[in-house]
Protein backbone atom coordinates (compact mmCIF):
# COMPACT_ATOMS: atom_id res chain seq x y z
CA UNK A 1 0.00 0.00 0.00
CA UNK A 2 1.29 3.41 -0.83
CA UNK A 3 1.47 5.90 2.00
CA UNK A 4 -1.11 8.67 2.21
CA UNK A 5 -0.03 12.09 1.08
CA UNK A 6 -0.39 13.39 4.58
CA UNK A 7 -0.88 11.75 7.96
CA UNK A 8 -1.16 13.32 11.38
CA UNK A 9 -1.24 11.21 14.53
CA UNK A 10 -2.00 12.57 17.97
CA UNK A 11 -0.94 16.05 16.96
CA UNK A 12 -1.13 18.71 19.65
CA UNK A 13 -0.01 22.29 19.74
CA UNK A 14 0.05 24.38 22.87
CA UNK A 15 1.07 27.96 23.31
CA UNK A 16 1.99 28.24 26.96
CA UNK A 17 -1.17 27.22 28.78
CA UNK A 18 -3.36 27.46 25.69
CA UNK A 19 -4.10 24.18 23.93
CA UNK A 20 -4.71 25.26 20.34
CA UNK A 21 -4.78 21.67 18.99
CA UNK A 22 -5.15 18.32 20.76
CA UNK A 23 -5.26 14.69 19.62
CA UNK A 24 -5.54 15.40 15.92
CA UNK A 25 -5.57 12.23 13.82
CA UNK A 26 -5.94 12.88 10.14
CA UNK A 27 -5.01 11.44 6.77
CA UNK A 28 -5.26 12.99 3.35
CA UNK A 29 -5.14 11.01 0.12
CA UNK A 30 -3.84 12.26 -3.20
CA UNK A 31 -6.40 14.37 -4.99
CA UNK A 32 -8.77 14.54 -2.01
CA UNK A 33 -10.63 17.71 -1.08
CA UNK A 34 -10.97 18.09 2.69
CA UNK A 35 -12.82 21.01 4.23
CA UNK A 36 -11.98 22.09 7.76
CA UNK A 37 -14.63 24.12 9.52
CA UNK A 38 -15.01 25.41 13.06
CA UNK A 39 -15.63 28.63 14.97
CA UNK A 40 -13.12 31.44 15.42
CA UNK A 41 -10.19 30.23 17.48
CA UNK A 42 -10.95 26.52 16.88
CA UNK A 43 -7.38 25.89 15.69
CA UNK A 44 -7.84 25.82 11.90
CA UNK A 45 -4.96 28.14 11.02
CA UNK A 46 -2.80 26.49 13.67
CA UNK A 47 -3.45 23.17 11.92
CA UNK A 48 -2.19 24.70 8.67
CA UNK A 49 0.84 26.13 10.44
CA UNK A 50 1.68 22.69 11.79
CA UNK A 51 1.16 20.95 8.42
CA UNK A 52 3.17 23.54 6.52
CA UNK A 53 6.01 23.45 9.02
CA UNK A 54 5.71 26.92 10.48
CA UNK A 55 5.03 25.43 13.92
CA UNK A 56 6.55 22.28 15.31
CA UNK A 57 3.75 20.44 17.11
CA UNK A 58 4.18 20.00 20.85
CA UNK A 59 2.71 16.48 20.65
CA UNK A 60 2.28 13.78 18.04
CA UNK A 61 3.74 13.39 14.57
CA UNK A 62 3.24 14.40 10.98
CA UNK A 63 4.13 12.18 8.02
CA UNK A 64 4.36 13.35 4.44
CA UNK A 65 4.27 10.39 2.06
CA UNK A 66 5.39 8.15 4.86
CA UNK A 67 8.35 10.32 5.88
CA UNK A 68 8.07 11.35 9.47
CA UNK A 69 8.81 15.03 9.74
CA UNK A 70 11.16 15.50 12.61
CA UNK A 71 12.75 18.83 11.93
CA UNK A 72 10.19 21.31 10.73
CA UNK A 73 11.20 23.73 8.02
CA UNK A 74 8.74 25.54 5.75
CA UNK A 75 10.97 25.29 2.67
CA UNK A 76 11.35 21.57 3.31
CA UNK A 77 7.57 21.19 3.30
CA UNK A 78 7.46 23.19 0.09
CA UNK A 79 9.94 20.78 -1.45
CA UNK A 80 7.68 17.94 -0.33
CA UNK A 81 4.81 19.38 -2.32
CA UNK A 82 2.83 21.39 0.20
CA UNK A 83 1.61 24.79 -0.98
CA UNK A 84 -0.52 27.17 1.05
CA UNK A 85 -2.25 30.48 1.21
CA UNK A 86 -2.49 32.65 4.29
CA UNK A 87 -5.57 34.00 6.03
CA UNK A 88 -4.18 37.49 5.43
CA UNK A 89 -3.04 37.61 1.78
CA UNK A 90 0.68 38.35 1.52
CA UNK A 91 1.58 39.37 -2.05
CA UNK A 92 4.77 41.35 -2.57
CA UNK A 93 3.25 44.74 -3.29
CA UNK A 94 6.24 46.13 -5.15
CA UNK A 95 6.01 43.40 -7.81
CA UNK A 96 3.49 42.79 -10.56
CA UNK A 97 0.85 40.09 -10.27
CA UNK A 98 2.81 38.01 -12.78
CA UNK A 99 6.13 38.30 -10.92
CA UNK A 100 4.43 37.33 -7.69
CA UNK A 101 3.31 34.08 -9.30
CA UNK A 102 6.74 33.56 -10.87
CA UNK A 103 8.32 34.00 -7.48
CA UNK A 104 5.96 31.43 -6.00
CA UNK A 105 7.80 28.78 -8.00
CA UNK A 106 10.45 28.21 -5.37
CA UNK A 107 11.12 31.91 -5.01
CA UNK A 108 10.67 31.77 -1.26
CA UNK A 109 14.16 30.33 -1.10
CA UNK A 110 15.67 33.33 -2.85
CA UNK A 111 16.96 36.21 -0.80
CA UNK A 112 17.02 38.95 -3.40
CA UNK A 113 13.98 39.50 -5.53
CA UNK A 114 15.71 40.73 -8.66
CA UNK A 115 18.28 37.95 -8.77
CA UNK A 116 15.53 35.47 -8.03
CA UNK A 117 13.42 36.71 -10.92
CA UNK A 118 16.10 37.26 -13.58
CA UNK A 119 16.85 33.61 -14.43
CA UNK A 120 13.17 32.74 -14.08
CA UNK A 121 11.97 35.11 -16.73
CA UNK A 122 14.14 33.19 -19.24
CA UNK A 123 12.76 29.79 -18.32
CA UNK A 124 10.19 29.08 -21.04
CA UNK A 125 8.54 26.12 -19.32
CA UNK A 126 8.16 28.15 -16.16
CA UNK A 127 6.78 31.12 -18.09
CA UNK A 128 4.20 28.88 -19.71
CA UNK A 129 3.21 27.48 -16.33
CA UNK A 130 2.81 31.00 -14.92
CA UNK A 131 0.68 32.01 -17.94
CA UNK A 132 -1.47 28.97 -17.42
CA UNK A 133 -1.90 29.72 -13.70
CA UNK A 134 -2.78 33.34 -14.43
CA UNK A 135 -5.40 32.05 -16.83
CA UNK A 136 -6.71 29.49 -14.32
CA UNK A 137 -7.07 32.17 -11.64
CA UNK A 138 -8.50 34.72 -14.06
CA UNK A 139 -5.64 37.18 -13.53
CA UNK A 140 -4.31 37.37 -17.10
CA UNK A 141 -5.95 40.73 -17.73
CA UNK A 142 -4.21 42.34 -14.76
CA UNK A 143 -0.95 40.37 -14.88
CA UNK A 144 1.10 43.55 -15.20
CA UNK A 145 -0.68 45.46 -12.46
CA UNK A 146 1.10 46.07 -9.21
CA UNK A 147 0.08 43.51 -6.61
CA UNK A 148 -0.42 46.32 -4.10
CA UNK A 149 -3.43 47.66 -6.01
CA UNK A 150 -5.63 44.57 -6.20
CA UNK A 151 -9.19 44.07 -5.01
CA UNK A 152 -9.57 41.54 -2.16
CA UNK A 153 -10.92 38.95 -4.62
CA UNK A 154 -7.97 39.38 -6.99
CA UNK A 155 -5.57 39.17 -4.04
CA UNK A 156 -7.12 35.89 -2.93
CA UNK A 157 -6.78 34.41 -6.42
CA UNK A 158 -3.19 35.66 -6.64
CA UNK A 159 -2.45 33.87 -3.36
CA UNK A 160 -3.86 30.69 -4.87
CA UNK A 161 -1.85 31.08 -8.09
CA UNK A 162 1.33 31.56 -6.02
CA UNK A 163 0.54 28.52 -3.91
CA UNK A 164 0.17 26.44 -7.10
CA UNK A 165 3.27 27.75 -8.84
CA UNK A 166 5.56 25.05 -7.50
CA UNK A 167 3.16 22.28 -8.59
CA UNK A 168 2.33 21.08 -5.08
CA UNK A 169 0.63 17.75 -4.38
CA UNK A 170 -1.59 19.49 -1.84
CA UNK A 171 -2.59 23.07 -1.35
CA UNK A 172 -3.83 24.47 1.95
CA UNK A 173 -6.33 27.30 1.46
CA UNK A 174 -6.98 29.43 4.54
CA UNK A 175 -10.31 31.26 4.15
CA UNK A 176 -10.09 32.00 0.43
CA UNK A 177 -13.62 33.49 0.48
CA UNK A 178 -12.85 36.06 3.18
CA UNK A 179 -13.67 39.54 2.01
CA UNK A 180 -14.45 38.63 -1.61
CA UNK A 181 -18.18 39.41 -1.55
CA UNK A 182 -21.12 37.45 -2.92
CA UNK A 183 -20.12 37.91 -6.58
CA UNK A 184 -16.79 36.22 -5.99
CA UNK A 185 -18.20 33.02 -4.46
CA UNK A 186 -19.11 31.10 -7.59
CA UNK A 187 -15.86 31.85 -9.44
CA UNK A 188 -13.96 30.83 -6.30
CA UNK A 189 -15.89 27.56 -6.03
CA UNK A 190 -15.17 26.89 -9.73
CA UNK A 191 -11.48 27.63 -9.17
CA UNK A 192 -11.23 25.26 -6.21
CA UNK A 193 -12.93 22.52 -8.25
CA UNK A 194 -10.53 23.20 -11.13
CA UNK A 195 -7.57 22.80 -8.78
CA UNK A 196 -8.90 19.45 -7.63
CA UNK A 197 -9.53 18.45 -11.25
CA UNK A 198 -5.81 18.95 -11.87
CA UNK A 199 -5.19 16.18 -9.33
CA UNK A 200 -4.02 18.51 -6.58
CA UNK A 201 -5.35 17.65 -3.12
CA UNK A 202 -6.94 20.58 -1.31
CA UNK A 203 -7.42 21.31 2.37
CA UNK A 204 -9.91 24.14 2.61
CA UNK A 205 -10.43 26.17 5.77
CA UNK A 206 -13.55 28.22 5.29
CA UNK A 207 -16.08 30.08 7.43
CA UNK A 208 -18.64 29.91 4.64
CA UNK A 209 -19.86 26.50 5.67
CA UNK A 210 -22.16 26.02 2.69
CA UNK A 211 -19.26 26.63 0.33
CA UNK A 212 -16.94 24.35 2.31
CA UNK A 213 -19.43 21.48 2.50
CA UNK A 214 -20.58 21.76 -1.11
CA UNK A 215 -17.03 21.34 -2.41
CA UNK A 216 -15.46 18.68 -0.22
CA UNK A 217 -15.16 14.90 -0.31
CA UNK A 218 -14.78 14.90 3.46
CA UNK A 219 -15.23 17.47 6.19
CA UNK A 220 -13.54 17.89 9.52
CA UNK A 221 -15.04 20.01 12.28
CA UNK A 222 -12.74 21.50 14.87
CA UNK A 223 -13.87 22.92 18.16
CA UNK A 224 -11.49 24.23 20.80
CA UNK A 225 -8.59 22.48 19.10
CA UNK A 226 -10.23 19.05 18.99
CA UNK A 227 -11.94 17.10 16.23
CA UNK A 228 -15.66 17.31 16.92
CA UNK A 229 -16.71 15.35 13.83
CA UNK A 230 -15.23 14.02 10.63
CA UNK A 231 -16.81 12.38 7.62
CA UNK A 232 -18.69 12.90 4.36
CA UNK A 233 -20.24 16.38 4.16
CA UNK A 234 -23.85 15.18 4.39
CA UNK A 235 -23.03 13.24 7.56
CA UNK A 236 -21.29 16.24 9.13
CA UNK A 237 -24.13 18.54 8.13
CA UNK A 238 -26.66 16.40 10.01
CA UNK A 239 -24.46 15.64 13.04
CA UNK A 240 -26.30 16.85 16.14
CA UNK A 241 -23.09 17.82 17.95
CA UNK A 242 -21.98 19.88 14.98
CA UNK A 243 -25.34 21.58 14.66
CA UNK A 244 -25.35 22.37 18.37
CA UNK A 245 -21.78 23.57 18.47
CA UNK A 246 -21.50 25.38 15.22
CA UNK A 247 -23.85 25.14 12.27
CA UNK A 248 -26.76 27.47 12.12
CA UNK A 249 -25.43 29.71 14.83
CA UNK A 250 -24.46 33.22 14.03
CA UNK A 251 -21.59 34.16 16.25
CA UNK A 252 -21.35 37.76 17.20
CA UNK A 253 -18.01 37.89 15.37
CA UNK A 254 -17.03 39.19 12.00
CA UNK A 255 -18.10 36.34 9.74
CA UNK A 256 -21.36 34.71 8.76
CA UNK A 257 -21.41 31.07 9.69
CA UNK A 258 -24.93 29.94 8.87
CA UNK A 259 -25.41 27.30 6.23
CA UNK A 260 -28.40 29.13 4.76
CA UNK A 261 -26.40 32.23 4.01
CA UNK A 262 -23.53 30.46 2.35
CA UNK A 263 -25.84 28.03 0.55
CA UNK A 264 -27.59 30.88 -1.15
CA UNK A 265 -24.50 31.77 -3.15
N1 LIG B 1 1.38 32.00 17.77
C2 LIG B 1 0.42 31.92 18.71
N3 LIG B 1 0.68 32.24 19.99
C4 LIG B 1 -0.27 32.13 20.94
N5 LIG B 1 -1.53 31.71 20.71
C6 LIG B 1 -1.85 31.39 19.44
C7 LIG B 1 -0.90 31.48 18.38
N8 LIG B 1 -1.51 31.10 17.22
C9 LIG B 1 -2.76 30.80 17.54
N10 LIG B 1 -2.97 30.97 18.87
C11 LIG B 1 -4.23 30.71 19.60
O12 LIG B 1 -4.64 29.39 19.27
C13 LIG B 1 -6.06 29.32 19.13
C14 LIG B 1 -6.40 28.84 17.74
O15 LIG B 1 -6.06 29.87 16.82
P16 LIG B 1 -6.24 29.71 15.25
O17 LIG B 1 -5.70 30.94 14.65
O18 LIG B 1 -5.65 28.42 14.84
O19 LIG B 1 -7.82 29.65 15.12
P20 LIG B 1 -8.71 29.62 13.81
O21 LIG B 1 -9.59 28.45 13.91
O22 LIG B 1 -7.86 29.77 12.61
O23 LIG B 1 -9.60 30.94 14.03
P24 LIG B 1 -10.16 32.01 12.94
O25 LIG B 1 -11.41 31.38 12.40
O26 LIG B 1 -10.48 33.22 13.77
O27 LIG B 1 -9.12 32.25 11.91
C28 LIG B 1 -6.59 30.73 19.44
O29 LIG B 1 -6.96 30.77 20.80
C30 LIG B 1 -5.38 31.60 19.18
O31 LIG B 1 -5.44 32.78 19.94
MG1 LIG C 1 -7.67 31.13 11.13
Ligand 1 atom closest to the Cα of residue 49 is: 18
C-alpha–C-alpha distance, residues 53 and 47, integer Å: 10
Three-state DSSP state, 11: strand
Quick check: CB of 15 below 6 Å from ligand 1? Answer: yes
31: closest CA among 161, 152, 200?
200
Domain region containing 181: 6-263
User: Which 3 state secondary structure label does DSSP give 104?
Assistant: helix
Helix axes 182-197, 124-136, angle to 10 degrees: 140
Q: In what order do the strands lie in the sheet with 170-174?
A: 82-84, 170-174, 201-205, 33-37, 218-223, 226-231
In a domain, 127, yes or no: yes
Q: What is the pLDDT of residue 124?
A: 80
In a domain, 1, yes or no: no
Ligand 1 atom nearest residue 47's Cα: 18
C-alpha 22/C-alpha 45 separation (Å) is 14
Residue 43 CA: which ligand 1 atom is closest?
18
Q: Residue 206 C-alpha to ligand 2 middle, in angstroms?
A: 9
How many domains does the chain fold into? 1
- Give the CATH number for residue 202: 3.40.50.300
Would you state the pLDDT for residue 69?
83
pLDDT in tens, the chain (265 residues): 578 999 999 999 999 999 999 999 999 999 999 999 999 999 999 999 999 888 999 999 999 999 888 776 766 677 788 998 888 877 888 899 999 998 887 544 444 555 666 666 667 888 889 999 999 999 999 999 999 989 989 999 999 999 999 889 999 999 999 988 888 899 999 999 999 999 999 999 999 999 999 999 999 999 999 999 999 999 999 999 888 877 655 444 444 444 333 333 3
Domain membership flag for residue 140:
yes
Residue 205 CA to ligand 2 center (angstroms) comes to: 8
The predicted structure's pLDDT at residue 262: 39
Flag whether 64 is in a domain: yes
In this structure, is residue 89 part of a structural domain? yes
Per-residue model confidence (pLDDT) at position 264: 36
Radius of gyration over alpha carbons of the chain, in Å?
18
Label residue 87 exposed, middle or buried (CB < 10 Å: 0-12, 13-18, 19+).
Answer: middle
Amino acid sequence: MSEPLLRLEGVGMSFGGLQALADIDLTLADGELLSVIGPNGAGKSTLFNVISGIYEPTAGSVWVRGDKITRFRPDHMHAKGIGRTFQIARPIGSLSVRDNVLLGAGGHRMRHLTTALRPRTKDVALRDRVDELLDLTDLTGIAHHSASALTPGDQRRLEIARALADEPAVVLLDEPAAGIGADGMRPLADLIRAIRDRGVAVVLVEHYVGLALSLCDRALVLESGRILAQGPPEQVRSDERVIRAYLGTRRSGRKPTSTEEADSE
